Chains A and B, each alone.
Chain A
Amino acid sequence: MMKRFAIVLTVVLLAISAFPQQDWIRTGTGLGVEKLRLAVPDFKTPPGTSAELATAFNGTLWNDLENAGLFDMVSKSFYPLQTPGAPQEYTAAAWNVPPPNAAMVAFGSLSADGTNLTVLGWLYDVRNQTSPQVLGKQYREAASTDGARTAAHKFANEIIFRLGGGIAGITESKIVYVCANGRNKEICIMDYDGANSRQLTRLGSIALSPHLSPDGSRVAFSALSGNNWDIMMYSLELGRMVSFPHFGGTNLSPSWSGDGTKLVFSSSRSGDPEIYSVSASGSDLKRLTNVHGPDVSPVFNPQSGAQVAWVSGRTGLPQIYVMGADGTNPQKMTDQGYAVSPSWSPNGQFLAFSWLRRYGPGAPGARDIYLMDIATGKWAQLTHDGGANDFPSWSPDGRHIVFQSSRSGSDQIWSMLADGSQQKQLTRSGRNSEPAWSFK
């Protein structure tokens, strides 16, 4: 009796101690690619200009350039006492030595009469003595805080476009997301930096997984209407809901193709959740998967439109799969744990997704955002040690990822560079989830 007991006890203890330890990967990325040192002194204002406008403009310009992830921003405390407001006031000698030691300087002036705000902006290459001017721009906007923000966004976009190798900045892009309003969940929209948020829908029910169309005119999402989950469509141009067919069963997670002509979503109209594609008007319904087990969260490859990534539970726990847009050639991308919420990078090269690599009772690890190179299957972990992270979505320039995280105590929306650095909280009040970045 005691002997049996001892054997069983040993087995139990062995089983407990055999739980795996947490894996940790080391990444070394982009060695040797240094950032450009950019100095952005405050724009000069003639006396009498509203300080509020200047503050909004300078703050927005600085944030936009810092968020771009391209520049090493030279701290303002390093600047010379006399900062330029026009080309004739610029001297390279003040900038190309330490402490500023800048490679580029963006400067200019800002003036406002009663209705109009005029911004003159220049970008100078400090190291080029003979022809330093890279950019010279003039913007005219309404003399309001919004106008100042818009002008700053445009100037920042131009700098990012020029120095970032022809990829447009994202300063004028939007993020749609789910905002909790009491017991209901509605669709909201905000600027890429978390400002200007507003609620779009007022359905008084539960709306989930919003996705902006590539032209930015419509938001597709799924919502509970009556007893059914249906695909819904909201027009940003009309400011109201527009009709979309009801397919029967539970219809979830709609997502647009890169050219805006098609949608993919999951529907249980046949009993089992499967992936369907449909034209943007709701016609031409096609079934793409036909295997027992749940198939959900499809997304198109935005570059080619010829592939769909989705989540399938056909082998047990949910895993990420990739198939042709006609349903052929399914391939399993992850082979362990609990992987959900794929998002395809704009250049079609990477998948970002949420992964619990060791799933099970007592298993260590957390839900984190991962990045996978489609061609090689290599992956890298982007978030560490910060609550549950889910619903990644790529920015149009392919440099940023927005995601939902519970690290601050409640579900909020965060953004980061696509290498995991510069993590930043965008929303702070209420509960906000399931962000999706616009296509441009």
Chain B
Amino acid sequence: MRANADIWLEHEPWRGSFGLSLVLHAVLFGGIMVYAIVGGLRRGNDWGSATGGGGEAMSATLVSSVPLPAHPDATNVVATESKGLSKSEAKAPETAPDAIPIPERQSKRKPWEKAPAAVRPQKPEPVQTATNVVPFGQGGPLAGPYAVFNAGGAKGGFGFTGGGGDFGSRYSWYVDVVRRKVAENWLKYEVDPRISNAQRVYITFDIVRNGSPANVRVEQSSGVPTLDQSAVRALQRIDTFGPLPNDYSGSRVSVEFWFDYKR
């Protein structure tokens, strides 16, 4: 019994460990403080930069009805108020003025012959691709800014038939609504990413009096099933284009919708 009691009375050598523990805690605390101060100084410097974290570029197409801002030139589009009206342009390289060659003395030249004029090298004209070209056969009453749209490389157009055949010119604002709504609802990520080019797709549908699309069908396939599907889905996703104009007498409008897909 007595021997057992002695064990409890023995003092454990704790001073060393306790001291080490104190030192370690002090170091840990100091380290956190140093990190907080140093980290606080440089916080935010690299946000949004290429090294600023593992965020991948992501393209989200929002609600069908969200009118999304167009940022045609922006590469890093976060939600901001400003859309950057001015864009800095690269300075054109200065070229030395063309030296005028000193004409050689040509004693044999006949006096009535003119010296050949120095040909100035022509500046190469930048190749301009028109974005509003109406392809042959797609013109007619609907030509102009209303019926043709561009959506991220793809180009599409509409043809409206209904009434006296002048629906497109009388209600061009309605055509514009249809165009924008289809462009908004077309999710390009549904298309097979391996496809870079496809034949023109023709899709026809009707818009009935209350504005909802009906009878959506592929008139001529592009040969790429996912592309046909994505276009049909864009129309199926739309509940309504808004009722047909009040003073339009017909009960429905037939729409032919075509587009060229290009990535």
| Chain A residues numbered 145-198 whose CB sits less than 8 Å from any CB in chain B | 161-167
Of A21, A35, A104, which one neighbours B67 at CB under 8 angstroms?
A35
Does A141 touch B at the CB level, under 8 Å?
no
User: Within the complex, what minimum Cβ distance (angstroms) separates A298 from chain B?
Assistant: 22
Does A431 touch B at the CB level, under 8 Å?
no
Residues of A within 8 A of B181 (CB): 165
CA distance A258 to B219 in the complex (A): 37
* Contact status of A399 and B172, CB under 8 A, knowing A23-B54, A378-B58: no
Does B225 touch A at the CB level, under 8 Å?
no
Does B93 touch A at the CB level, under 8 Å?
no
A127 touches B81 (CB 8 A): no
Residues of A within 8 A of B178 (CB): 165
* Contact status of A418 and B62, CB under 8 A, knowing A33-B151, A165-B181: yes
CA distance A421 to B62 in the complex (A): 13
Chain A, 366-400, contact with B by CB distance < 8 Å: what is the 0/1 string? 00000101000011111110000000000001110
Residues of B within 8 A of A82 (CB): none
A5 touches B20 (CB 8 A): yes
Does A266 touch B at the CB level, under 8 Å?
no
Least CB separation from B68: chain A residue: A30
Chain B, 133-176, contact with A by CB distance < 8 Å: what is the 0/1 string? 00000000000111001111000000000000000011111001
Does A58 touch B at the CB level, under 8 Å?
no
Pick from B27, B65, B152 the residue with the most CB of A within 10 Å: B65
* Contact status of A421 and B81, CB under 8 A, knowing A33-B70, A399-B63: yes
Does A131 touch B at the CB level, under 8 Å?
yes
Does B31 touch A at the CB level, under 8 Å?
yes
| Chain B residues numbered 57-79 whose CB sits less than 8 Å from any CB in chain A | 57-72, 74-79
CA distance A418 to B166 in the complex (A): 37
Tell me the dominant secondary structure on chain A's binding face. Answer: loop
Does A16 touch B at the CB level, under 8 Å?
yes
CA distance A162 to B246 in the complex (A): 11
User: Within the complex, what minimum Cβ distance (angstroms) separates A231 from chain B?
Assistant: 30
Least CB separation from A8: chain B residue: B24
* Contact status of A28 and B71, CB under 8 A, knowing A125-B172, A165-B240: yes
A421 touches B151 (CB 8 A): no
| Chain B residues numbered 205-226 whose CB sits less than 8 Å from any CB in chain A | 211
B residues bordering A, Cβ < 8 Å? 20, 23-24, 27-28, 31-32, 35, 39, 43-44, 46-48, 52-72, 74-81, 144-146, 149-152, 169-173, 176-178, 180-181, 183-184, 211, 238-243, 245
Closest 6 CB pairs of A and B: A30-B68, A420-B79, A166-B242, A166-B240, A25-B55, A23-B53
Q: A21-B46, A68-B67, A69-B67 are in contact. List 14 more A-B contacts (CB 8 A).
A: A22-B47, A23-B53, A28-B57, A29-B68, A30-B67, A31-B72, A34-B70, A130-B170, A165-B181, A345-B63, A380-B62, A417-B66, A418-B62, A421-B79
